[in-house]
Structure 1
Amino acid sequence: MSEFSRALSVTASGLKAQASRLRHVSENISNADTPGYRRKTVPFEAVRELQTDVEHVRTGRVTLDRSDLEEVYDPSHPMADESGHYDGSNVDLMIEIADAREAQRSYEANLKMFEQTRTMSASLMDLLRR
């Protein structure tokens, strides 16, 4: 496997992992007002392919944030107990927006590396054709 192929493979795995992370962040944001919803987090794992000796990144198992759910007071809500409270979600929009921005910037950095590698490979092919 050429160095260009290895670089493209590594950046492609980074793109895939950040896209997955961004999908989970957007799920968290869209469910911020859903009663009983727990925030999803996705860890990254380094994986080494034995046949190519290249380390890739991938997402691990999605986990639910076990922090306390927000207690919301709304006596008119159908899920409210006799005291007028119900469990909201544990999604903090500021954290989710920060995570989304970080995932977006990491995705863009991986995309830039992918484009740079592709450009270098094309330039090398042009030089070899001469």
Structure 2
Amino acid sequence: MSDFSDSLSLSSSGLRAQSQRLRHLSENIANTDTPGYRRKTVPFETVMHGDTPGAVETGRVRLDRAELQEIYDPSHPMADENGMYSGSNVELVIEIADAREAQRSYEANLKMFDQARQMSSSLMDLLRR
């Protein structure tokens, strides 16, 4: 039975990690037009300790160090004497592509979780006979 619980633990760690990633991606998308906002990224790390080797968890949130976009708008309240202000470094197309990738990975982990649960249930039914 430990193989079933290991597969459930692996897939649930993937679900948690992708959920965290989607949270930060949606925050990035929401702040695309926020002046001075830096894109957040979440690295994944393999857990080597604990019951299930190979499980995944998220690391510390990192801010993208790419240059902020300089925007010319003299009427903006944050504009300097030259009419420029710093926008965000979020690329909407990249965020949407990353969100789609995270969503598909989440769905794959959910499918794996469901398959392991169904196999475990079928095994229990066979053992009851």
TM-score range (shorter-chain normalised) is over 0.9
Deviating above 3 A after TM superposition, structure 1's stretches of 4 or more consecutive aligned residues are none
Distance 1:56 1:23 in 2: 20
Equivalence map 1:1-130=2 (5 Å): 2-50=2-50, 52=51, 54-130=53-129
Listed as ranges, the gaps of 5+ residues in structure 1 are none
- Cα deviation, residue 48, structure 1: 1.9
Question: Are the equivalent residues in 1 in contact too, given 2:42–2:61 (CA < 8 A)?
Answer: yes
- Cα deviation, residue 54, structure 1: 2.4
Letter paired with 1:111: L
Query: If the length of structure 2 is used for normalisation, what is the TM-score?
Result: 0.97
Gap change, CA 1:44 and 1:96, over 3 Å in 2: same
- Cα deviation, residue 49, structure 1: 2.7
User: Aligned pairs, how many?
Assistant: 129
- Cα deviation, residue 91, structure 1: 0.1
Listed as ranges, the gaps of 5+ residues in structure 2 are none
- State the superposition RMSD in angstroms: 1.0
Distance 1:10 1:49 in 2: 13
- Cα deviation, residue 55, structure 1: 2.1
